[in-house]
Structure 1
Amino acid sequence: MSKKPLKKLISKWSIEDKPVKIDKWDNTAVKNSLDDMVKKIISEKYEMEESFSIVDGRLVICTIACIVSLFALVYDYIQPFPKSRTVLIICSLSYFFMMAVFTLYIKYVEKDIIFVGLRKDESGFDKPQKWTIRTNLKRFDDIYEIIYEFIDPNTNKRCNSMLNKSVASWINENGVILPKLLEKDLTYLHDKIITDKKLN
Structure 2
Amino acid sequence: MAEPTKICPYSLPDLKNTSDDAVAAYLKTKSFAQSHTLTDVRLSISTAACLIAGATFYLDYTQGFEKTKTFTLYACIAYFTLNTALTIWLYFFESSTIYVGKHKTAPVSLTISSKVTKHDPTYRLKILQTQVVDGKNIVRNRDVEGPFMDWIDDKGFFVKKPFESWLGASVPWILENEDVPKELDSSVVTASGRKVQEEMTGVEVGSGKGSVRRKGKKV
The alignment's TM-score, normalised by the length of structure 1, stands at: 0.74
Q: 1:88 to 1:188 in 2, by over 3 A?
A: same
Give ranges in structure 2 of 5+ residues lacking alignment. 175-180, 189-219
Q: Following TM superposition, by how much is the alpha carbon of 1:108 offset from its aligned partner in structure 2, in angstroms?
A: 1.2
**How far apart are the structure 2 equivalents of 1:55 and 1:187?**
25
How far apart, in 2, do the equivalents of 1:158 and 1:198 lie?
Answer: 16
- Say whether 1:170 aligns with 2:151: yes
After the TM superposition, which segments of 4 or more aligned residues of structure 1 sit over 6 Å from their partners? none
What is the RMSD of the two structures over their aligned residues, measured on CA atoms?
A: 2.9
Matches within 5 A, 1:26-105: 26-44=11-29, 46-77=30-61, 79-105=63-89
CA displacement at 1:133 relative to structure 2? 1.8
Give deviations 1:50-85, integer Å, cap 9, x for gaps: 211111111111122122223323433454212322
Would you tell me which structure has more strand in proportion to its own residues? 2
**Aligned-partner Cα distance in 1 for 2:44–2:21:** 23
Residue identity opposite 1:36 in structure 2: D
* Larger Rg computed on CA atoms: 2
Distance 1:76 1:115, change over 3 A: same
- For 1:49, the aligned partner's letter is A
Alignment CA distance shift 1:42-1:78 (3 Å): same
Of 170, 176, 181 in structure 2, the residue corresponding to residue 189 of structure 1 is 170
Partners in 1 of 2:127 and 2:115 — Cα distance?
Answer: 12
Unaligned runs of 5+ in 1: 1-14, 123-127
The one of 113, 123, 142 aligned to 2:121: 142
Bigger CA drift: 84-93 or 151-160? Answer: 151-160
For 1:142 and 1:110, locate their aligned partners in 2 and report how far apart those are by CA, in whole Å: 23
Deviates more, 1:28-37 or 1:135-144: 135-144
1:161 and 1:192 in contact (8 A); partners too? no
Q: Identify the residue that residue 3 of structure 1 maps to in structure 2.
A: none
| Residues 1:110 and 2:94 aligned together | yes
| Higher RCO (CA 8 Å, separation ≥ 6 residues) | 1
CA deviation digits over 1:14-42, x for unaligned, max 9? x9xx7654320122221121112222112
Q: Give the distance between the partners of 1:142 and 1:133, measured in 2 at CA.
A: 19
Equivalent AA in structure 2 for residue 144 of structure 1: Y
Residue identity (%): 25
Task: Give me the TM-score of the superposition, normalised by structure 2.
Answer: 0.69
Distance 1:150 1:96 in 2: 36
**Secondary structure, aligned partner of 1:175:** coil
Question: AA paired with 2:21?
Answer: D
